Structure 1
Amino acid sequence: MQDQESKEVTNQPEAEQPGAAAAEAPAAETISTGGPNLEEQLSATEAKLAEMHDAFMRAKADAENIRRRAQEDVSKAHKFAIESFAEAMVPVRDSLEMALKVESQTVEAIREGVEMTLKQLTSAFEKNRLIEVMPQPGEKLDPNKHQAVAVVPSEQDPNTVVTVLQKGYMIADRLLRPAIVTAAAPK
């Protein structure tokens, strides 16, 4: 009779087989007796997965916010890079405008006003690390800071500065404009 039941059972689809549920039950009981059952493990794993997914999404959002803020900071830095220099230059302009408003000017007063304005300008340059490049005659020609526009015969050593035609300027360690010089010709 069991043979007949097993034949009938095998003719039915798996989900409909009466012995299928009974066969799974002992396996589940075996696992459940050795520790937490699979459903508990699955729900715990799903909870941990949801927690990790939430942490990942928060970290991703934080990274995106940091990237966006950094981009805004860079944009503002480019936009307002000369703000400090502009603040230092406004008083210089004010002094020049005031000098032009004076109706009866003497040469001495004009000279005094120009000297005071030059002091303001020099102070603004120093404050913003705008440094003069003013080589001395006889100084070795430095192609990183000097531009020789002519080579002239001289008693000095070759490739040294003979005269300075125009000062150069550096911003911190970067050359803004080289000093224009004449250099001593080789003998």
Structure 2
Amino acid sequence: MPTPAQDRAPDPPPEDAVQPPRADLPQPGPPTEEAEPGPDAATGAGTPDDEYAAALKEVEDRWRRALADLDNLRKRHARELERERAAERARTAAAFLPVIDNLELALSHADADPGAIVEGVRAVRDQAVSALERLGYPRHDETGVTFDPTRHEVVGVVQDADAEPGTVVQVLRPGYGDADRQLRPAAVSVAKRE
């Protein structure tokens, strides 16, 4: 008759104990002479480690090339950006050359006819305003329009019985540009609300 110790299953070994090799798994170590050659033996291909190393080397090479391409792209972009900035500065400066020419012409005629200088300066101012408008910065100096905080800067509030409350009654300094591209807002006085 079996004893109670023989009826129960053996206790599992502790977790950190070394397990004996299982007979159903291939054992590590040098192959025996009886072992058949593997599928790579006929083709002469390397071991999987060699394949992984070659693939890793190829991926690393592609990564280095991509980094070099990115660095070259950054340098090319920086050069093109500087070239575009220089071209834009030259285009802007060229837009004001006629204004300078006309100011010099007005100054040269100032001695001959002092009254004509006022007309000359006014024409030069209009030419400069036109140059700014061609560059994308139209002038805003309208009165009687509703106050718009994106286009106007309030520098004073005045009592004006003829003006609707919240409207621009006086432009002290004109603004240039629109709300999304603005050089400066117009400095205005606004009618007081009752």
TM-score by length of 1: 0.67
Shift of residue 62, structure 1, vs aligned partner: 0.4
Is the alpha carbon distance of 1:26 and 1:59 closer, same or farther for their aligned partners in structure 2, counting shifts above 3 Å?
Answer: farther
1:149 partnered with 2:144: no
Percent same amino acid at aligned positions? 32
Is the alpha carbon distance of 1:182 and 1:118 closer, same or farther for their aligned partners in structure 2, counting shifts above 3 Å?
Answer: closer
Matched letter for residue 140 of structure 2: V
| Contact 2:133 2:139 (C-alpha < 8 Å) held by counterparts | no
Mark the runs of 5 or more structure 1 residues left unpaired by the alignment: 1-19
Structure 2 partner of 1:174: 181
Is the alpha carbon distance of 1:122 and 1:77 closer, same or farther for their aligned partners in structure 2, counting shifts above 3 Å?
Answer: same
Structure 2 partner of 1:65: 72
| Contact 2:129 2:138 (C-alpha < 8 Å) held by counterparts | no
Structure 2 partner of 1:17: none
**Residue correspondences, number:** 165
Shift of residue 131, structure 1, vs aligned partner: 1.4
Instruction: Give the helix-richer structure, 1 or 2.
Output: 1
Structure 1 partner of 2:168: 161
Moved more, 174-183 or 96-105: 96-105
Structure 2 partner of 1:29: 37
CA RMSD of aligned residues (A): 3.3
1:52 partnered with 2:48: no
Shift of residue 119, structure 1, vs aligned partner: 4.2
Is the alpha carbon distance of 1:153 and 1:30 closer, same or farther for their aligned partners in structure 2, counting shifts above 3 Å?
Answer: closer
Matched letter for residue 158 of structure 1: P
TM-score by length of 2: 0.65
Mark the runs of 5 or more structure 2 residues left unpaired by the alignment: 1-28
Is the alpha carbon distance of 1:93 and 1:26 closer, same or farther for their aligned partners in structure 2, counting shifts above 3 Å?
Answer: farther
Q: Which runs of 4+ in 1 moved over 6 A?
A: none
| Contact 1:130 1:172 (C-alpha < 8 Å) held by counterparts | no
Which residue of 128, 135, 146 corresponds with 1:140? 146
